[in-house]
Structure formats: C-alpha cells, structure tokens
Structure 1
Amino acid sequence: MRRFLKRVVPEDAAIRTNLSWKLSAAIALVGALVAIALSLVVHNAARVSMLNSARDVADSRVQLAQRMYESGRTRTLWGKIDDPAIPRDLLEKVMEGRRATYVSEGAHGVPDIWAAVPLKDGRVLSLHTPFTDHSAEVMKDLDQALIIGSISVVLGGSALGVLIGGQLSRRLRKAAAAANRVAQGETDVRVRDAIGGVVRDETDDLARAVDAMADALQERLEAERRVTADIAHELRTPVTGLLTAAELLPPGRPTELVLDRAKAMRTLVEDVLEVARLDSTSERAELQDIMLGEFVTRRVTAKDSDVEVRVVHESEVTTDPRRLERVLFNLLANAARHGRPPIQVSVEGRVIRVRDHGPGFPEKLLAEGPSRFRTGSSDRSGHGHGLGLTIAAGQARVLGARLTFRNVRPTGAPEHIPAEGAVAVLWLPEHAPTNTGSFPMPPLSGK
C-alpha cells in the first residue's frame, strides 16, 4: 500500500508576512487591474470617437467634391480620380455603387482616413487625408492623463490598504498579546478589553471566543484543582493513621518496609496538597531580608555535606526563606535522584545554580517545563512522582522568581551528543513580590 507523507514545515522555516502589506498589495493589484481596464476602454472609446468624426468630415468633403466634379469645376477639385492607392476593401464597396469611408494604418501607426464615391461616368472619386496632428496630440495627452490617473489609483489603493490593514493588524497583535498573557496564567485578562475600539468586526468575535474558551478552561482547571485537593485532604487522615499503626508493629524487616511505604504515601499526599495550593494562586510570600550566599551555604551544608557550595558574589535579597529553602531542597533532591555526583551549588548575586553530572534533563521537560507525575527519568520505578520540580516551579512563582532548566554539553557539540550534566537556575527578582500578587520578572541574562 502506497503511503503519502505530509511534509511539515518547521515554524522557524515558515515565511512570516505582515497582514497590512498583504492587504495593501491586494488592493494595489486590484486597483491596477481596474485602472488598466478602464484606461484601455477610455483610450479605445476616444480613438473610435475621433476616427468617426474624421470619417464624417471626409464623407462630407467627398460629397462636396462629387458635386464640384459633376458641375464641371475640376480645377479646384478635392481628391483624386481613380487613385491607384485606394484600399481594395474601399474600392469593392464603391464598385457596388455606394459611397463609403475607410480607415487604414499609415506610417508610424498614424491612421489614414479614406472616403470614396462612384461618379456617373463610372469613375471613382477618392479623398485621402491623414489623421490630424491635433487629434494625435489629443490622444497623446489623454494617454498621459490615463497613465497618471492609473498610478494615482494604485498608490492611493496601497495607502488605503496599509491604513486598513495596519489597523486590523494592530487589533490582532493586541489580541495575540492578551491571549499570551492568559496562557501565562493571568486569568483576569480579557482579549476583548485588550483590543478595544468602537467598530465591531470579526476580530471582536474571535476575542469573545478566546475569552469564553479561557473562562471555560479556567473553570475546568479550578474544578480539577478542587477535586485533587479534596482527595489529598481526605487521604491525609487514613494515611496518618496507617503510619501511626505501622509504628506500633514489632521491630523487623516487614515493619521497616511498611513504614517506608507509609512515609512515602504521606509525602505524596502532602506534595499533592502543596501543588493544589500553589495552583490556586492564593499563596503569598512572607518576606525577610537575608544574605543569599550565607543562607544557601548554611542550608545546603546542613542538608548534605557532600554538596559543593560556591559563593561567587554575595547579595542581600528580600524573599521568603521557607519557600526559598523548599525550592533549593527540591532541586537538590532531583539532582541526587536523577543525576550523578558531584552536585554543585553556586550563588552569584541573585542567581542560584544547581548542577549535577548526570545524563541531563529530558527534552520534553526542557521544552514544556516541569509537569506533575512526570519524572526526570525515563525509568519511573522508584524515582518519585514528578512533583518535586513542579513544586519548585510553583514556589518560585510565589517568590516572583524564575526557574529555568538546561543541559550542559561540550561547546559546539550537536544535540545528539549526550549531556554532561543538568543545571537548574533560580533567578530571584530584583524587587520583592508585592502583597497584591504582582510579581516583577527578572530579565533574561546569563546562564
């Protein structure tokens, strides 16, 4: 069976264009076509009208010449008798006994006007006059006016297209920016309010649809969060009771196994409750002024003396020490579980880096960020539930900080070369988060 493969063009390779220029080009093209068509129609109509007028004049003159010839006044006769240069088509009509006029192409494209009439003696009287210079000048001026008018129409249409397209493009850009803010978690943003304007068009319909979708999605996420929190809260009591009962068992290997699993279950329930609280965006930081390098050194050393801590540049920060410690310990636990020693922590100003020398973060985590119940290892058995980095990222948001992840590869090495380690970087904000929940984000700089 023959298979047809659809070629997918990468987003970076796609050609990006501007809506206003597209609309301008379309209007300019239509205007040019209309202007050319009208110019041709006007040119041909004017030419035909002027030729008809010239033929009428020639016909009147040949009739006057016929009367002069038949009255015997041949000395001042206009025209020629039996002119050999008379066009064949005109001669055939005259031989049928009819008076006729004829237009032929002359030198340099200037038409010649012929008029002929049969005489009583069987001869043919013809009159030949070229298209007048005045008429040719009139046609030339008309053509110039049509060309100037066509150019003006094209330029005016292009300007109108840029104006209309620019307004539409600005509305769409505002809608896209507002939609991106909604995607980043700003649930109070409304696309319709962002685009503004009095005129109602399809952009407003799109904005209302996006707002409705965002509201529905927010309601669904909130419902899922409540369900998750309720389940975890209901599990806390029986898990606590199970742990208490396990501690009453007689010492031995079975008791150790039961206690280990009960503690793991209690940790999981507490983590799920913490994720639910962070998802509710109601958490607020309790701020204190601390010396960051000293704080990290003391906490990390107390947690694991094998971890190397290096303070490159000391800095005083205003943050929540409890939440900062939670982020730091979760990063260390992830490095110990999925990486390999040595594990290194460095403090440089407001930036904390945690590095291990393991296989690195999965590409999906680097692309999409931490996700609950997705671990940092392809082998999930015995490697946690993927909540550590999710909690770290959530606590970082409460602190107004930014948590990034990257892998360490040799300089210039391609992507298929295995990583030499993983680095998690916590960027603390220059200004402390406010009580209103407005967290200033630090700029992207450094690695």
Structure 2
Amino acid sequence: MKIRRWPSLSLLSRLILLVITAVLLTQGITLWLASVERHRLISEQLYNEVLDTLASAEGALDGMSADERDAYLQASNRPDFPQLLPTTADTGLDFRDQTTPMTQTLAQRLSVALGEKIDIRLRRLDGRREMWLPVHVLDQDYWLVMPLGRYSERPVSSLLLASLLASLLAMLLAFGFAWQTSKPLLRLSAAVRELGRGRTPLPLPASGAREIRSLAEHFNQMSHSLDETARERRLMLAGLSHDLRTPLTRLKLLLEMQEASPDQHDMLDDIDELSRIVSQFSDFARASETRPLSPTALSELTDSVATRFTRNGMAITLDLAEGVEINGDALALERLLSNLLENARRYGQPPFRIRLQQQGAYACLCVTDHGSGIAPELREAALAPFERLAAHRGTDGGSGLGLAIVTRIVNQHGGTLDFVDEADGGFTVRIKLLQGGC
C-alpha cells in the first residue's frame, strides 16, 4: 500500500498554516460557547417571563366571571406583549414544525414547573416571531403567546464581525511573527548554499530566537574554521608546488646538459610528469579561490584552448555556437576545459569533439571522446579529490585532481556536471553553466 505524503512546505508556510488553524479553531470554539451561553440566557429569561406572566394573569383573573375575564383579556391582549388567547385561536394558523434546542430545554423546564407536559409551537406573523404554549389559568385552558422579537437564537452580526476582525488581526500579527522567525533561517539556508558551492558566505547576523542566534553563531564559527582550513591548504599546496617546481626545473636542465644516454628520454618524461602533477596541485589550490565574475566570451575561450591542444597533436572537432557568453571567471574556465581535454587525451581515444550550445539560461559545454569512459558505479567517486580509478592507478602518472578541479569550478559558476554515454559509443562530460553567474 502506497502512503501518500503531504507536499513539502517551507517553515514560513507551516507557521502560517498552524496559526490560521489555531485562530480559526479558537474563534469557532469561542462562537460556539457564546452561542450556547446566549441560548441558556434566553431560555432562562423566557422561563422566568412565562412564570411571571402566568402568575400575574392568575392574580388579575381570580374572582372574575367568564364575561369579565373575556373583557379583561380583550383589553389587555396587545401585539408585542404576552397574550392569553382562547384554545380555538390556533385554528387555521401556520406553525413551524421544527423545534430548536433552546425551545426543547425551555419546554422541559416548564413541564416540570407547571406539573404538565408543555409543547412549544413557533410561528412567524408579519415578520414577528411568536411562541405558543398551552397553559391552564384558574382551571381554564388558554394559549399563552410570547413574542420573541427581543430574542434571537443566532449570533448577532456584530459578534461575527468582531470575530472576523479579531481573526484577521491575529493572522496579520502571526504572519509578521512567522516572517521574523523564518527570515534568519532563510539567510542561513542561503549561506549553506553558498558554502556548498565552495564560497565563503558573509557572517550571519545573530538575530531572532535564542536557538536561532546560537545556530547562526555556530555556523559563523564553522564557516570561519572551514575558510581558515581551506586557506591553509591553499597555502600549503601553493608552497609545495613552488618548492617542487624549482628543483624539478634544475633536474631537467642538468639532464638536458648531460651526454645522451639510453635512460635520458625516460627520465625527462618522468620530470615532465612530475611537473604536470605539481601544476595540478597548484590548479587545485587556486580552484578554491573566489574571484569576481565578469562577462566572458565562452565561444572564443573554447576555441583558444582547443587550438592550443591541437598544436600539441590532439585532433579535435569543434561544434561551437557563436556568441555564447557567460558571467564567469575566464582563468578558471580555461583551467576547466584544459583539464577535460587533458583527461580525454590521457584516458580516452579519438575522435575528440567539443560542442558548445546555448540552452535557455545555460551554456552547455560537452567534451566527447571514444575511449572506455567511466563505469557508472565509479562516476561519483571519480569527482572526488585525489581519487584515481583502479584501472589507471600507478600507471598514468596522474594525481586524481583533474575532475575535482572541474567540479569546483562548475560549482562556483552555479552549474552542473553529468556523464553521458553516447549512442555511437562515445563518452561525454557535459557541463551546464548559468549564463548570469550565481
């Protein structure tokens, strides 16, 4: 059985929904309690009024003859006042069939007080509401007609209006409170995204609830510690690269000045390989640096890098859309494409192809070779720093930093990196870069 889940909501939406539910629930309960209390008071008032009317009528009619009683009742029966009418007064009148909880309660109380069953009937006449009760006054049967013009069983409109205004005010105040509560968390979420892209976010202000202030302070400490660690690592890698490059250059110069020997060529190749590894260390350190982004003609940059590799004997087919421009770091993008082409030349097979297209708000850059590619289960690991696939470990002279450098540069430009197996057997590294930067 598949369990259906509610759609994901933001904290602000959840707080607003919680407050609206709480306000509506409390207002509904308040209106219900007010309605119950109002019905109780009306029932109590009508109960006392009926008993007072009957007691007054018995006192006034006591000792009168039948004709005197009829004359007295005709004189005292007036609209909008309690009336005693003969039992035949209901002939041909239209009464409401339904009763209300209030009239039921009132009928039960009057039946107990008067010692006989009382059935209450309701009638509307010319917009006036009346309540008819069969009663005995001095052993004579009558209809007691009580006007209900002053009583209303429904909540008055002013109460409803006050409830709506109170609910609206409470919701507005709650919305402001919820926004103030969620705003620091939104800033924290944005800072986490910046940190995930390899950038150091600005320190978060310590505002909001105590727990949120503590969270912001700890995040600032963590961000500062990560920045310090990254800076020390960059300095270490840059210093190591600089310190190694000088003796490597000296060794290469000494070998070239010596007489030719069978091992000289291999030794020079090893020194060149070491120099490339040192350069990758330096590139990896610089890939963590953030520089201002500026408009960069990606088509021209791609053509320039491809031309440089072509001069070194790598045949590359270019399919470049003209005028593709992004807001980026030109030096970092050059390192990105250089690493992709170097990986294709080192681990792939010709033919090599570069495609550059514009897809909506993204520039799509694809580098394709026709080698064995990367197995699907190893692709995530291949993006990690210093990670080298088992097939090439110890045999290719690489450092395992090429794709790690590419990944960092892609993240800094708000892009994505995917591996694609082409239908013709080619293997493509596809990169989408946001044209507006990030």
TM norm. shorter chain > 0.5: yes
- From 212, 220, 226, give the equivalent of 2:221: 212
- From 328, 333, 341, give the equivalent of 2:342: 333
Please state how far the C-alpha of 1:215 moved relative to its aligned partner.
1.4
Mean Cα deviation higher: 67-76 or 105-114? 105-114
Residues 355 and 206 from structure 1, CA distance in 2 versus in 1: closer, same or farther, beyond 3 angstroms? same
Residues 130 and 364 from structure 1, CA distance in 2 versus in 1: closer, same or farther, beyond 3 angstroms? farther
Which residue number corresponds to residue 81 of structure 2?
none
Deviations 1:282-338 (A, max 9, x none): 8999x9xx9757744642232115444566659999x99988775554322200223
Distance in 2 between the 1:344 and 1:246 partners?
37
Distance in 1 between the 2:58 and 2:364 partners?
109
Deviations 1:75-127 (A, max 9, x none): 4187699xxxxx898677666xxxxx99754347986667778x7xxxx6777
User: Match of 1:76, SS?
Assistant: helix
Kindly indicate whether residue 58 of structure 2 is the aligned counterpart of residue 52 of structure 1: no
- From 370, 374, 389, give the equivalent of 2:403: 389
User: Match of 2:428, SS?
Assistant: strand
Q: Which amino acid aligns with 2:217?
A: R
Please state how far the C-alpha of 1:45 moved relative to its aligned partner.
2.5
Please state how far the C-alpha of 1:240 moved relative to its aligned partner.
7.6
Percent identity, aligned pairs only, is: 19
Kindly indicate whether residue 391 of structure 2 is the aligned counterpart of residue 379 of structure 1: yes
Please state how far the C-alpha of 1:42 moved relative to its aligned partner.
2.3
Aligned length: 390
- From 184, 191, 196, give the equivalent of 1:183: 196
User: Match of 1:422, SS?
Assistant: strand
Distance in 2 between the 1:130 and 1:258 partners?
122
Distance in 2 between the 1:182 and 1:320 partners?
18
8 Å contact 2:121–2:133 — kept in the other structure?
A: no
Residues 386 and 14 from structure 1, CA distance in 2 versus in 1: closer, same or farther, beyond 3 angstroms? farther
Residues 35 and 244 from structure 1, CA distance in 2 versus in 1: closer, same or farther, beyond 3 angstroms? same
Please state how far the C-alpha of 1:134 moved relative to its aligned partner.
0.8
CA RMSD of aligned residues (A): 5.5
Mean Cα deviation higher: 256-265 or 126-135? 256-265
- Where do 5+ consecutive residues of structure 2 fail to align? 74-83, 87-106, 124-128
Distance in 1 between the 2:112 and 2:330 partners?
112
Distance in 1 between the 2:31 and 2:344 partners?
76
Q: Which amino acid aligns with 1:356?
A: D
TM-score by length of 1: 0.63
Please state how far the C-alpha of 1:58 moved relative to its aligned partner.
2.5
Which residue number corresponds to residue 431 of structure 1?
none
Q: Which amino acid aligns with 2:391?
A: D
Q: Which amino acid aligns with 1:31?
A: V
8 Å contact 1:292–1:347 — kept in the other structure?
A: no
Residues 274 and 65 from structure 1, CA distance in 2 versus in 1: closer, same or farther, beyond 3 angstroms? closer
Which residue number corresponds to residue 192 of structure 1?
205
Residues 282 and 345 from structure 1, CA distance in 2 versus in 1: closer, same or farther, beyond 3 angstroms? closer
Please state how far the C-alpha of 1:389 moved relative to its aligned partner.
3.3
Residues 130 and 30 from structure 1, CA distance in 2 versus in 1: closer, same or farther, beyond 3 angstroms? farther
8 Å contact 1:359–1:422 — kept in the other structure?
A: no
Which residue number corresponds to residue 69 of structure 2?
76
Distance in 2 between the 1:113 and 1:16 partners?
60
Residues 367 and 143 from structure 1, CA distance in 2 versus in 1: closer, same or farther, beyond 3 angstroms? farther
